[in-house]
Amino acid sequence: MLKINNLHASVEDKAILKGINLDVKPGEVHAIMGPNGSGKSTLASVVAGKEEYEVEEGEILLDGENIDELGPEERAHKGVFLSFQYPVEIPGVTVTNFMKTAINETRKAKGLEDMPANEMLKMIREKSEMLEIDRKFLSRSLNEGFSGGEKKRNEIFQMAMLEPKLAILDETDSGLDIDALRIVANGVNKLKSKDNAVIVITHYQRLLDYIVPDYVHVLYNGRIVKSGTKELAHELEAKGYDWIKEEVGA
Amino acid sequence: MTQIMSLKEKLVSSFMAFENTVDIDSPIHDIRTEAIKAFETEGFPTKRQEAWKYTSLNSVLKHDYSVFPKHEEALEFKDVKKYFIHDIDSYKIIFIDGKYSSHLSQTTHDGIDVCLMSAALTKPKYRIIVENYFNKIATKDGISSLNTAFSAEGAYIHIPKNKLVEKPIQIIHFSTGNEAALMLQPRNLIVVDENSHVQIIERHQSLTDNPVLTNSVTEIFANKRAIVDYYKIQNDRETASLIDNTFINQKRESIAKVHTFSFGGKLTRNNLNFYQNGERIDSTMKGITIIGNKQHVDHNTLVHHIEPNCESHQDYKGIFDDKATGVFNGKVIVEKEAQKTNAFQANNNILVSDKASINTKPQLEIFADDVKCSHGCTIGQLDESAMFYLRSRGIPEKEARALLMFAFSNNVLDSVKIPEIKNRITAIIARKLGVNIGFDL
């Protein structure tokens, strides 16, 4: 589904990604771990199409198609979803109106009519219940004054509404207490199917107790330096990242 | 320069002819005569004057305007319906090329007077109101004096006490292009007596690309506990310019709100002045300006806090694209006696293009010591991280931009009490931003 070949990317002439290779197949969950500043969030943003990052070399293929030249909205229309580490506050746009606009613009891009209002409302109700989101919350301005946990839960609510093919969760666990973590992880697990894939970017292992990865990759200094199964995450939790640095540094 | 001189000269020399067309015995004959003298001395404002530093009238004064349109033109309602807020029941005072159109209007004398300035200035039964209120608060500067000198037609609204006027009143000035270039000088007088409430919508609309210059003066008196809601919809063609001079005198416990929506026109100057003559007065002025090309909108506001325990709220949002230019000059005077004043002013702007510009200048003159006065102005670009966030959810760039601009100007619409106006403004904004998306505010 997602194939990244020798990806080099930079921001303001500073190289961040230095040759990433990744192959994510339908139905799989991949975890990307690594110390701060290793390039995890950059990788997520580059795949989602953030324009301030320059792809210097390599390619990003989604279902075999190079998406490098596509804008973020076109990638979203093809099923890419990024759950932001720091969701942006947008005063004046309610969660509901934002969702309606996002869904109908995506449908428009696919040549479909707007989703009927009652169907939209039903979907909003179902998905918000799944994530235990209060109805009042939906008429508030997007992310404005939300707590850290509310913001993350709102990201997963958007994911549930948009039903992406490839979801990238960028540090979705940061700022979540254990109850919220469980709710969010539950939501993600319910959305998982044999046809879609999830990339979980995290610094810590605890989210991976709930969203169990098929593969774990360690990103360090712009490269994937180690890949393994979920046991690798436990090892990292126990031993920290220093041994990886030593292995690589050697 | 010579042409500017010639418009001034033309107006001055037209005055005699004008006075012959109106009743020379009118009680305001002396006021008009004084006013033309003031205009002759002051002339049109120039950029040398502090209050006009960022707005030059040169480009709009160069046309050879007809001062007295000759033809009378009829318009069919169906052809101009779209300029009305037509989905509500309302009174209408409609003018075509400066002349009253009884065909398009709906006036009343049933308990309230919603009619014409020409009637008010000539009929004996209105004499007392005219003597008490006419030209009492309009300033004596060149541009307002010019209007006073030629004041003959416009809206006259008098709401006696304890009347809740349920139907809004629409005042619309159409210009048809019958003249190669047309200058209009409407004069409105609005008196709202104790404990009454009125809602007014004002619009100026040119129907062709022939140049139009409107120099309008509106005097509004909100007496004790009166509520006045005033909406100005400025979405004219880019060959039409407007100088709007609005003066509001408030008595105690009155509430006056003016919303100004500026989306069109070549040059628009809003001189909006509030005078608080009483305690516990509330004055609100809000505006959304969205312009592009080479359009220019200048908001020049004044709130004069004279007595204690009063409030004023100013909130102006501006979005400027292409080579558009904007000005916000907000003056707040708090007199020594005006203790416990609460004055709030905000002016926030987004420059979409790097060739657009805005000059914003708060001017606070505070002589009282126990007051709350705040002001803030910002000038920025659209937030790129917000753009990426919206686009990553499948909202295309243009729509994302529009959504952010809607959101930016959103809270100004919160205080619009007539839903049909809110819908209309939303639709105009969507059209202005070139999007057709169903998000509501």
Q: CB distance from A107 to chain B under 8 Å?
A: no
Question: Across the strands, what pairs with A110?
Answer: none
Q: Provide the residue type at B425 as one letter.
A: I
Contact of A214 with A28, CB cutoff 8 Å? yes
In a domain, B337, yes or no: no
- A chain contacts of residue B388, beta-carbon cutoff 8 Å: 48, 50-51, 72, 88
Distance of CA B163 to the CA centre of its chain: 25
- B chain contacts of residue A120, beta-carbon cutoff 8 Å: none
Name the domain count of chain A.
1
- Taking 80 as the threshold, does the pLDDT of residue B185 lie above it? yes
Q: CB distance from A42 to chain B under 8 Å?
A: no
| Integer Cα distance of B327 and B267 in angstroms | 11
Q: Which residue of A has its CA nearest to B398?
A: A73
Q: What is the pTM of this model?
A: 0.87
In a domain, A17, yes or no: no
pLDDT-above-90 percentage for chain B: 83
Q: CB distance from A41 to chain B under 8 Å?
A: no
DSSP H or E run through B117: helix B117-122
Residue of A52, A92, A106 with shortest CB distance to B406:
A92
Q: pLDDT tens digits for B315-358?
A: 999 999 999 999 999 999 999 999 999 999 999 999 999 999 99
Q: pLDDT tens digits for B105-160?
A: 999 999 999 999 999 998 999 999 999 999 999 999 999 999 999 999 999 999 99
Same domain? B270 vs B413 = no
Structural domain ending residue among the three candidates B211, B244, B277: B277
* Structure token pair of residue A162: 């948009």
ipTM of the complex: 0.95
In this structure, how many other beta carbons lie within 10 angstroms of the beta carbon of residue B376?
10
Contacting residues for B241 by C-beta, under 8 A, at least 6 apart: B60, B211, B212, B213, B214, B265, B266, B267, B268
* Structure token pair of residue A67: 């998406």
Q: pLDDT tens digits for B365-409?
A: 999 999 999 999 999 998 899 999 999 999 999 999 988 998 888
Whether B395 and A50 lie within 8 Å, measured CB to CB: no
Same domain? B118 vs B256 = yes
Whether B437 and A101 lie within 8 Å, measured CB to CB: yes
Distance from CA of A211 to the nearest CA of B (A): 23
In a domain, A131, yes or no: yes
In a domain, B209, yes or no: yes
| Integer Cα distance of B168 and B385 in angstroms | 42
Structural domain ending residue among the three candidates B242, B277, B312: B277
Q: By C-alpha distance, which of B212, B206, B207, B215 is closest to B180?
A: B212
- B chain contacts of residue A90, beta-carbon cutoff 8 Å: 386, 389-390, 404, 407
Q: By C-alpha distance, which of A146, A206, A139, A193 is closest to A166?
A: A193
Structural domain ending residue among the three candidates B277, B295, B322: B277
Q: By C-alpha distance, which of B329, B242, B424, B306 is closest to B53?
A: B329
- The predicted structure's pLDDT at residue B5: 58
In a domain, B283, yes or no: no
Whether B392 and A76 lie within 8 Å, measured CB to CB: yes
In a domain, A18, yes or no: no
Domain of residue B394 covers 384-441
Question: Across the strands, what pairs with B213?
Answer: B183, B241
In this structure, how many other beta carbons lie within 10 angstroms of the beta carbon of residue B350?
23
Domain of residue A230 covers 25-49+72-249
Q: pLDDT tens digits for A176-233?
A: 888 889 999 999 999 999 999 999 999 888 899 999 999 999 999 999 999 999 999 9
- The predicted structure's pLDDT at residue B159: 98
- B chain contacts of residue A102, beta-carbon cutoff 8 Å: 390, 393-395
In a domain, A10, yes or no: no
Name the domain count of chain B.
2
In a domain, B416, yes or no: yes
Same domain? B146 vs B270 = yes
- Taking 60 as the threshold, does the pLDDT of residue B441 lie above it? no
